Amino acid sequence: MLNTDNLVIAEEILFIATVITYLVSSVLYIWHLVTRNRRAVVMGFVLLALGLVAQTASLLLRWYTSGHAPMSDTYESLSLFAWGVVLAFIITERFYPVKSAGAIVVPSAFLISLVALIFYEDPADLVPALQSYWLWIHVSIAMIAYGLFALAFGAGFFYIVQEYLLKKQYENVKTAFVLLLAGLGAVLGLWFGSWWSEPEMVIDAAGNPDKIYAGIDIIKIIGSLAVGLLLGLILGSLAGRGAARPAFSTRLPSLDVLDEVSYRAIAIGFPMLTIGIATGAIWADIAWGRWWGWDPKETWSAITWFYYGAYLHTRLTLGWRGRHSALIAVTGMAVVLFTYFGVNFLLSGLHAYA
Amino acid sequence: MSGIERAEGKTKDAGQGAPQGAAAFLVTGTLALIFLFADVVLSIYYYRHTSGDDLRWLLALLDIGLTLSVLGLTGKRVSRMLVSMKLALTLLFVILIISVIGTILPNKDQVATSGWVNNPLYDFYNAIGLFDMYYSRWFLFLLFLLATNLTWCIYKRLRVTLKNAIHPRVDVRSSFIANQPFTDSFPGRSLDDFRRAISGRRYRIHQAPSGSVLAEKGRFAALSSIVFHLSFLFLGVGGIIGGMMGWTDQLYIPDGSTVDVPHTMMRVTNHRFSVDFIPVLDERGLVEGYRPVDYSSDLEVTQDGQTLARQTITVNGPMRVNPAGANPVLNFLGSTSINFHQSAYDTTETGQYATILEVNYMPGKLLVYAGFVLMMGGITLALYIPHRRIWARVDESGALLVGGRSNRMKVSFARDFNEVKAGLVQEPRQEAGTDA
């Protein structure tokens, strides 16, 4: 009964259940933001927690059946990312009054896990370069850092929205939502396009996979980008119209709480990224014989690192607060996304495992 | 704090402008000439023998020496420019932009198969190191300039931090206290009440003759930030040592063969290379091909016929061998070991396997690892160890004025401050209680 095939099926079913749970939870969190219905947010939270349990079980099953930490392909990496986002939110939500931020965090987790489901593949054996315990140390720490930067992004975005609402600048609220969702749509579109155009996967003699965009289908990529952008614009203007009301302000956390959450997330995320890069360097020294080689992933992680280092300097040395800090945290997400996805999809290098 | 720094800078510069500057000018001028000479000679040698020893690291260092000494000749503003945050930020920004460009351009292994070879300016691009830019002379120059700037900044910050820790600012006016982020006044209270209210919280109390009191905690907290920034220099120096003295080579060894390890007296034998394959299935579940899942080489390293080590290495399990007769202290520090990494494999014409190894010597690695430890520890402490200060004095109206600040963890400082406040407010009630 308990053979590996059944476990793999159980793992996939559990993950599908997780995605559906996150979807329903997202709807409930958005419903709560719109109607202030307390029952909705309680149910949303319970479902979210159940989803997290199911996803944990799914990831553990995958770990057990494949014999290695679930961090080696696109599906595993994304599933873990969504897991980290949900876990970070559930913990934050216990300590800070940020229930309404769930309306952006939980749908994000749902979207990430949905994309993960698209990329789902049966567990496979690791390529030789990844067969090391450094895999889970390095990847999980980097994922926690990315998750925290995502949290800082969400809090920063709502800080900007809340500030516009308090100043009664409703046009700016609409613009913020349109920009956010259009940006998100463009990223998802670009990503889908580069996946759809099916770059050729090559495994070199060392067993390191690499992607070659020979005969790259530009139309597929630009088309998906345009569709994503358009959908984002439509959804953004709808959401913006819904949010640009005085009553919406009372449904968001206060400016102080949003500013504090955004900063706290980066103040934990930055040391995490530091450890992530340092463990990566140690592992690179073991596997490739050099601790730093300007591989695109390495270079971009350094760029991300300097970016958030600059954030901390503006805050701690120059005393910046509020909107400026929030803007830096929001823009930082673009850098993080490029380091996490962009490098793997658009540039070639030693990290092209996903 | 910045006021002290600025005043210091001024007096120093004034001193350098004095007549004794003639000697300094002569020394700097001589240095500049030496750097110029060495730079020109080595540059000509390097560009005539591009296949010779890699001198780029040394050349970039000479360039830095030349630039600094020429700047020194032009006068007193150099130290101020070098220490400026503006230079640091400009350099960081420029380096980041160049790094981004570098991730888009093909590197030297990829460029041969890219469209760039057909570009009419390809030879020019290649000559300025566009396809190997992270190791080009000018990129290294920028990195070294940033390191110089960082060294100066660390030195300056260290002086200010130690000065403030040893001679904290105790003597302050009432208006200074009233302007602190956390402040309150308590009519009829005395400095002794303040001392009592703050006792047991492990604050260090200083008293100024003028009658103001400072309670301070974490006066060395700023050191953690300095340690964090110092870690960059560890990485930088480690990287320079590795880049200048280290080397990397590839070895191709068919099964059962022995080859010399370049740059050393060692020889390495590949006793047996082994590899496991698993089938790769296509969408219909049919076998499409095979992919290596694990491979390893059984290696033996000898020197003068004596076996130094025998080990089976894998991609994630390299072998480190110390040459015979190496300095035991350096051995311990890990700076002499020759590292054998499993890189790839091949099949020879006769059908046997050949292992492809990457062999390198990377001195300075210990500095790099120490740098990582300082970096991780430094940043964590720098973000979470606060420097808390509370000043108190009795103002003109006879009320006790209390004000304080903390550079980190403001919420927990607010708790501290409120408890001190509560201690100052509550006491009369307790006294009234005992009277009744």
Give me the CATH number covering residue B206: 3.30.160.110
Dist. CA B222–CA B234, nearest whole Å: 19
Residues of B in contact with A288 (CB under 8 A): 341, 358
Q: Is B263 left (phi over 0), alpha (psi -120 to 50) or beta?
A: left
Three-state DSSP string of A43-71 = HHHHHHHHHHHHHHHHHHHHHHHHCCCCC
Helix axes A74-95, A4-35, angle to 10 degrees: 40
> For residues B230 and B378, is the Cβ–Cβ distance under 8 A?
yes
Structural domain containing residue A99: 1-121
What's the burial of B410, exposed, middle or buried (CB within 10 Å: 0-12/13-18/19+)? middle
Q: How confident is the model at residue A327 (pLDDT cuts 50, 70, 90)?
A: very high
What's the burial of A267, exposed, middle or buried (CB within 10 Å: 0-12/13-18/19+)? buried
**Is the same domain home to B285 and B351?**
yes
Three-state DSSP string of A257-313 = HHHHHHHHHHHHHHHHHHHHHHHHHHHHHHHCCCCCCCCHHHHHHHHHHHHHHHHHH
**Residue pLDDT, tens place only, A34-90:** 777 888 889 999 999 999 999 999 999 988 888 777 777 778 888 888 998 898 888
Kindly report the CATH number assigned to the domain that includes residue B307: 2.60.98
**Is the same domain home to B351 and B263?**
yes
Structural domain containing residue B200: 168-218+386-435
Dist. CA A311–CA A324, nearest whole Å: 10
- Determine the length of chain A: 354
In chain B, the residue whose alpha carbon lies closest to the alpha carbon of A307 is B96
In a domain, B59, yes or no: no
Total count of domains within chain A? 1
User: How large is the C-alpha radius of gyration of chain B?
Assistant: 32
Position A351 scores a pLDDT of: 54
> For residues B393 and B174, is the Cβ–Cβ distance under 8 A?
yes
CB pairs under 8 A between A and B: 104
Q: What is the pLDDT along chain B (436 residues), one digit of tens a residue?
A: 333 334 444 444 444 444 457 787 888 888 889 989 998 888 888 877 766 557 888 888 899 888 888 887 776 666 677 778 788 888 888 998 898 888 888 777 777 776 777 778 777 887 777 888 888 889 999 999 999 888 988 888 899 889 988 888 888 888 888 888 998 888 888 888 888 888 888 888 888 888 888 999 988 888 999 999 999 999 999 888 888 888 888 999 999 899 999 888 899 999 999 888 877 777 677 777 777 778 889 999 998 888 888 999 988 889 988 887 777 777 666 677 899 999 888 888 888 899 999 999 988 888 899 999 999 999 999 888 899 999 998 888 888 889 999 888 888 888 888 888 888 886 554 444 444 3
Quick check: A131 and B346 CB within 8 A?
Answer: no
In a domain, B292, yes or no: yes
Q: For residue B257, report the phi and psi dihedrals to the nearest 5 degrees.
A: -95, 160
**Is the same domain home to B159 and B115?**
yes
In a domain, A280, yes or no: no
In a domain, A166, yes or no: no
**Which one of B150, B166, B182 terminates a domain?**
B166
Q: How confident is the model at residue A305 (pLDDT cuts 50, 70, 90)?
A: very high
**Residue of B122, B188, B146, B124 lying closest to B60 (CA atoms):** B146
> Cα distance from B379 to chain A (closest Cα, Å)?
6
- pLDDT reading at A298 higher than 70: yes
CB under 8 Å to A296, separation ≥6 — which residues?
A343, A347, A348, A349, A351, B103
**Which one of B327, B346, B361 terminates a domain?**
B361
Position A354 scores a pLDDT of: 38
In a domain, A20, yes or no: yes
Q: How confident is the model at residue A349 (pLDDT cuts 50, 70, 90)?
A: low
Quick check: A131 and B380 CB within 8 A?
Answer: no
Residue A93 neighbours by CB distance under 10 Å: 17
Q: Are strands B182-187 and B399-406 parallel, antiparallel or unpaired?
A: antiparallel
> For residues B190 and B121, is the Cβ–Cβ distance under 8 A?
no
**Is the same domain home to B124 and B202?**
no
- Reported as type and span, the H/E element at residue A212 is strand A209-212
B105 touching chain A per CB within 8 A: no
**Is the same domain home to B308 and B411?**
no
> For residues B297 and B269, is the Cβ–Cβ distance under 8 A?
no
Q: Residue B355's beta-bridge partner residues?
A: B253, B345
Position B359 scores a pLDDT of: 93
In a domain, A7, yes or no: yes
In a domain, A172, yes or no: no
**Is the same domain home to B350 and B258?**
yes
> Cα distance from B213 to chain A (closest Cα, Å)?
26
In a domain, B302, yes or no: yes
Position A259 scores a pLDDT of: 92
For chain A, what is the mean pLDDT?
84
- pLDDT reading at A97 higher than 70: yes
Minimum-distance CB partner of B358 among A260, A289, A299? A289
Tell me how far apart the 2 most distant CA atoms of chain A are, in Å. Answer: 63
Q: How confident is the model at residue A340 (pLDDT cuts 50, 70, 90)?
A: confident
Dist. CA A289–CA A281, nearest whole Å: 10
In a domain, B50, yes or no: no
Residue A29 neighbours by CB distance under 10 Å: 28
Minimum-distance CB partner of B379 among A205, A206, A270? A270
In chain B, the residue whose alpha carbon lies closest to the alpha carbon of A270 is B379
ipTM of the complex in this document: 0.82
In a domain, B417, yes or no: yes
Token pair in block for residue B323:
């040459």
- Determine the length of chain B: 436
Alpha carbon separation from B221 to B382, B386, B387, B421 (Å, rounded): 7, 6, 6, 25
Total count of domains within chain B? 3
**Is the same domain home to B109 and B184?**
no
In a domain, B227, yes or no: no
**Is the same domain home to B101 and B162?**
yes
In a domain, A231, yes or no: no
In a domain, A58, yes or no: yes
Average pLDDT over residues A194-202: 66
Position B422 scores a pLDDT of: 85
SS3 content of chain A, % helix, strand, coil (to 5): 80, 0, 20
Residues of A in contact with B412 (CB under 8 A): none
Q: How confident is the model at residue A346 (pLDDT cuts 50, 70, 90)?
A: low
> For residues A296 and A347, is the Cβ–Cβ distance under 8 A?
yes
Position A56 scores a pLDDT of: 93
- pLDDT reading at A328 higher than 90: yes
Position B234 scores a pLDDT of: 93
